[in-house]
Amino acid sequence: MNTDTLTLNKTSWDAAAERFFGRTSLPEFGPHAPREDELHLFGDVTSCKVLELGCGSGHSLLYMDQQGAGELWGVDLSPKQLEAAAKVLASSSSSVTLIESPMEQDPGLPHNYYDIVYSIFALGWTTNLQQTFTNVHTYLKQGGLFIFSWEHPLYNRARLSDDQLVIHKSYHEEGPYDHEAWQLPAIMQQVKLSTYLNALIHQGFKIDYVIEDVRLPEDPLEWQANRWYSYDKAKLLPTTLIIKCQKI
């Protein structure tokens, strides 16, 4: 666990929390990606104990509450995000527990306890992917689900030039990087698709679905303002990776 990176990212997220309030949350998995009301990856969550890694402003947990989940647990690196989440979830009908912690560190969460652990467009912030997967496996009950989404690992390797994709970084190069679309100093992690899959298999998960589909709006003007996840680039390359697996 890289404490310098975590400190930098915590500071960055505290500063950016207001800008990302309610952004990229269930039923959305990511930009230009199919939604949960289309995919039905979670199934019936009635009375389920759910844990979100990188819970942000709490809107995905609010969605789980609206679907009838029994217990809502959220972990996030940023205290500013957790303050926002506490307000968003203040009137929740479910039990709510919010914990400040990086996802690669077990802050004392119960083991073999959760029906579902999930992360919506946050997993790329971990400084230790294998340790994060180890934690998730420990938290879940036998047969419990782990569902996560993140920017597709091919997406930032290419740029759009004259309606053609130009590879400007090696796909084989993994590790920490300063994302050019992030406005503040922060470090994310580049991980190949095969690395995600092999790490999950090694940890003892059974992979149910890998989703790379793109869902484009009928009106491209809806996404004209998003310079990073542009409509034209998304026509050629998936923006979002979604994986569903279960503890066996």
217 — pLDDT class (breaks 50, 70, 90): confident
171 and 153 Cβ atoms separated by less than 8 Å? yes
Average pLDDT over residues 84-102: 96
Q: Using the predicted structure, report yes or no on whether residue 223 has a pLDDT greater than 70.
A: no
27 — pLDDT class (breaks 50, 70, 90): very high
State what percent of residues in the chain have pLDDT above 90.
Answer: 85
Sequence-distant (≥ 6) Cβ neighbours of residue 93 within 8 angstroms:
65
Residue 182 is predicted with a pLDDT of 87
Q: Using the predicted structure, report yes or no on whether residue 129 has a pLDDT greater than 60.
A: yes
Residue 56 is predicted with a pLDDT of 97
- Distance separating alpha carbons of residues 21 and 83, to the nearest angstrom: 11
Q: Domains of the chain, with CATH numbers?
A: 3-231 (3.40.50.150)
Q: Mean of the per-residue pLDDT values for the chain?
A: 94
List b or e across 18-42, with b for residues whose CB sees 16 or more CB atoms inside 10 angstroms: eeebeebbbbbbbbbbbebeebebb
